[in-house]
Amino acid sequence: MQFKQRSLINSCFLGAISALMIAPALANTEQPSFEQCKDRFHQRAQKQNYSEDILKIIDNLTPIERVISLDKNQPEFAQSFAQYVKKRVSDYHVNHGRKMLKTHKTLLSDLQKQYGVAPQYIVSFWGLETVFGRHKGKMSTLNSLATLACDQRRSSYFTDELFDLFYLIENKTVDVDQLQGSWAGAMGHMQFMPSALKKYAIDGDKDNKINVWQSEVDALTSAANYLSQIGWQRGERWGREVKLPPEFDFASFEFDKKYPLSKFAQAGVQTAQHKALPQSSMQAELVLPNGHNGHAFLVYNNFDVTMKWNLSKNYALAVGILADKLIGAPGVGSVAQAQPLPFSRTKMEQLQAKLNDMGFKSGKPDGVWGPNSRKAIRAFQLENELVADGFPNQEVFQALQL
């Protein structure tokens, strides 16, 4: 968004004054106690006219300390691409996933006709989320959500999820006894958050109740509906692995941005089998999950839809790769010798802070290699005549003297 100069000056002045006024208050802000959080939940529930049953549920909420630890060490952001894919696109995932394609062949075919999502993608999501129902989670969904809602980092989001769950309980969509799931409050075969369950869940087996824990039909139907509603494009693939030419011009392609497939073809990018890419206007984004020396992918609209399900490029890549392998495609180049990320979270925070100090805005240092960090690292690489792949490799750390 652009502002006129006068507006910008006024905004900066008022912002500076506000910052000075607010800073002491922020400095004194402390993590609320769980009892204080329960009081907050109580007040909101009463304002929204929830029943005494919900108020009693709030009274009985208890924190789960392990949830915060798990939240801060999510594998999507703590593992390298190769580590992540090796574990989640295993021989078991492929072989059992193919069995599930056969077991649910009629259902999946019907879902494809109705919602436009090919069977291999629905089964791939299932495999990534719970290993086809083997690991649905055993933590109290109510207590997990309450714990996260009391944590200041994303309190608003998880408070809303908690109250969506109250809504589902109040309206008898779910039973309290069912409410077990992941540490983040995700539930059932496909690990729906309460907001997704509230909005997209479907009684697929027509037994007049929605049960995403026990009914595979309900879970798979709800997943197809969800993907369709958030933009899945019928008949389109997720993306593909590609090969970059040795002289690839990184300066001409920004990350987290789409270009016509034909532009990549003209830049010498080929398929993984070293064949020419189609001269197509279809929009594609270049993804290098472990830098220019590792795997390279061109991803399309359905990859973006997958990231609406889980905001992690590693996750979205794994869904696509597993889906391909389920129908006999080769998958990706070897990840057998999977190596960890070449940086720790602490080192990444140091890198982000130093880039910020130098004018390369990477956002608040959080130790996560995300879009802002990619953009900042790429800008630093271009200015210092390094390979501009946006990846925090050792060359970048050395150039920053970290």
Q: β-pairing, 239-243 with 258-260?
A: unpaired
DSSP output for 52-97: HHHHHHHHT----HHHHHHHTT-HHHHS-HHHHHHHHS-HHHHHHH
Cβ–Cβ < 8 Å for 274, 243: yes
**Does the domain made of 34-71+135-202 have the CATH classification 3.30.70.890?**
no
Q: How many angstroms separate the CA atoms of 1 and 3, rounded?
A: 7
Question: How many Cβ atoms from other residues are within 10 Å of residue 17's Cβ?
Answer: 10
User: Phi and psi at residue 242, in whole multiples of 5°?
Assistant: -135, 170
Taking the alpha carbons at both ends of the chain, their separation in whole angstroms is 34
What does the domain layout of the chain look like in residue ranges? 34-71+135-202, 239-326, 345-399
Q: How many angstroms separate the CA atoms of 66 and 286, rounded?
A: 36
pTM for the full model? Answer: 0.88
pLDDT mean for each 10 residues of the chain (402 residues) = 33 34 42 94 97 97 92 74 92 97 98 98 98 97 97 93 98 95 97 97 96 97 98 96 96 95 97 93 95 95 96 95 95 75 90 97 92 96 96 95 93
